[in-house]
Amino acid sequence: MDGNGRWAQKRGFPRIFGHRNGAGAVRAVIEECGRLGVEVLTLYSFSMENWKRPREEIDALMYLYTMYIEAETQGLIDNNIRFVQIGRREGLPDEVVAAVDRLTAATSGCTGATLCVAVNYGSRAEITDAARAIARDVKCGRLDPDTIDESTIERRLYTAGLPDPDLLIRTAGERRLSNYLLWQLSYAEIHVTEALWPDFGIGDLHTAVRDFASRSRRFGGLEAEPPTDRPDR
């Protein structure tokens, strides 16, 4: 969700003003994804690198996240949406962890779409944590090194149990992965829009989905040949 700070600065406001408006775009996107039949929506909310930002901005972001959780809890339940958070919990404020745990528990029985929010997340850290978990299992004799395969790693990623993304949307014209779901995005289609996140609306989402639908996804194979009208001989 790139461009919140730039959106605010272009209007002469502090960066946090952009984050507040960006939160409004989240609700519209979640609701429309539900109407479109999207099974899982993952939002990159706060990266591990974001701790480098000014303390005032970090505190405001954590407060906004907590307020968002409290404000949207009933709406998620009413729409049968399950909430999960990925990323390292260590370092997050206690009130954020408590709010996340309450929302996770409150929506655990929801069977519709899944809203996954990445907070204090970094893909290299995720893969590192998976490698450590595998090493511990090998050391304790619970895992034979010769049996390690891709599924062994996937089961130890933060996203275990979630499908790999089909589509990555990058707002604000950004054209890099930014340490985001590096393992999971291996075969995802990438759509880049110049829209800053607070301006990202339903029309922008539809454009991204249409772009995705126009892609030929071969996964290393060959594209299927179009059917012919010639009768078999």
Residue 5, pLDDT score: 92
Q: Phi and psi at residue 84, in whole multiples of 5°?
A: -135, 150
Is the confidence at residue 151, as pLDDT, over 80?
Answer: yes
Is the confidence at residue 221, as pLDDT, over 80?
Answer: no
Contact criterion met (CB below 8 Å) for 209 and 32: no
Architecture of the structural domain at 4-212: 3-Layer(aba) Sandwich (3.40)
Residue 175, pLDDT score: 95
Give how far the C-alpha of residue 220 lies from the chain's centroid of Cα atoms, to the nearest Å: 25
Rounded alpha-carbon distances, angstroms, from residue 211 to 101, 176, 205, 216: 36, 18, 10, 11
Residue 50: active-site member:
yes
In the set 50, 79, 164, 179, the catalytic residue is 50
Contact criterion met (CB below 8 Å) for 118 and 42: yes
Sign of the four-CA dihedral 69, 73, 79, 80: positive
Ranges of each domain in the chain: 4-212
Q: pLDDT digits over 100-134, tens only?
A: 999 999 999 999 999 999 999 999 999 999 999 99
Contact criterion met (CB below 8 Å) for 190 and 158: no
Locate 95 and state its tokens.
Answer: 């009130």
